[in-house]
Amino acid sequence: MNRQKLIEEIKSKNSFLCVGLDTDLEKIPKHFLDFDDPIYEFNKAVIDATKDQCVAYKPNIAFYECHGSKGWDSLKKTMDYIPDNIFTIADAKRGDIGNTSSYYAKTFFHYLNFDSVTVAPYMGEDSVTPFLEFDDKWVILLALTSNKGAMDFQLFEQDGKKLFEEVLTKSQNWGTPSNLMYVVGATRSEMIQEVRELAEDHFFLVPGVGAQGGSLEDVWTYGKNDDIGLLVNSSRGIIYAGEDEDCQIQIHKAAETIQSQMKTLLST
């Protein structure tokens, strides 16, 4: 999906909501376990309940590959079921030497047909650019994450510049606002404006709103740009909103609540 189509989808739905498909067999409603492929059936139910409220889905690959070949089959079927107008993110956090990265890219962009993949920047340019060689596909580069361990490296400062600032500055020479996004954690709302000043035109994928405590209003205030420039992810707060056979009703309500807040923000 190209940038213009993504922006049009956001404006059409009055939403910049991304739903994380972090499907855990220990947390899904028990009746799904009666199916031959409970992961796919649960994902299908979530997609049916949220496809009118969200503009993106983000399966975390760890929740699938831990089940071996059956998990990859569930992921493939899930990808085939997601409507074509919805942006898809492989939350895989890949990143390796060039030749290896090119095969990771083929896996997610060709075989699974994702629109984007999350990539770790630690190994530098030649580990990232192979993902940028595909038309209408995106790299979502880890910039400033919200986990406790982010303090270990991302905020390390040398000569007055933090490491995440160096990542943002240098990586913009590798891609463009049409194929390069950044992960920016919502629980670091006080720093989102700083990130936006360094990457004015790029989209941000923002996890941490909802169950992790991030503020949607703060993300909007400090992170938006002229093209909205935001995909805000919610996983647990939406997909596990219901526990029984009528879980789709609660899932839909949870997504609708966030989408309604986004609609209000978009109108301001």
pLDDT band for position 98 (cuts 50, 70, 90): confident
Name the phi and psi angles at 140, rounded to 5.
-115, 100
- On the question of pLDDT at 212 being above 60, the answer is no
Domain of 87, CATH number, reads: 3.20.20.70
Q: Within the chain, how many helices (H) and strands (E) appear?
A: 12, 10
pLDDT band for position 75 (cuts 50, 70, 90): very high
Average the pLDDT over 197-216 and give the result.
83
Q: What's the rounded Cα separation, in Å, for the pair 181 and 259?
A: 22
pLDDT of 163 reads: 87
pLDDT of 209 reads: 73
CA dihedral sign of residues 137, 75, 12, 187? negative
The amino acid that residue 211 corresponds to is A
Q: What's the rounded Cα separation, in Å, for the pair 140 and 121?
A: 10
Q: Are 19 and 233 in contact (CB under 8 A)?
A: yes
Strand segments (E) across 10-96 = 17-21, 56-59, 87-94
Q: Return the active site residues.
A: 93
Global pTM?
Answer: 0.95
The amino acid that residue 48 corresponds to is D
User: In this predicted model, which residue has the larger pLDDT, 148 or 194?
Assistant: 194
Domain count, the chain: 1
Q: What's the rounded Cα separation, in Å, for the pair 34 and 58?
A: 25
User: Lowest mean pLDDT: which of 32-46, 121-135, 139-153?
Assistant: 139-153
222-235, pLDDT tens digit by residue?
999 999 999 999 99
- On the question of pLDDT at 268 being above 90, the answer is no
pLDDT of 93 reads: 96
Question: What domain range includes position 145?
Answer: 3-266
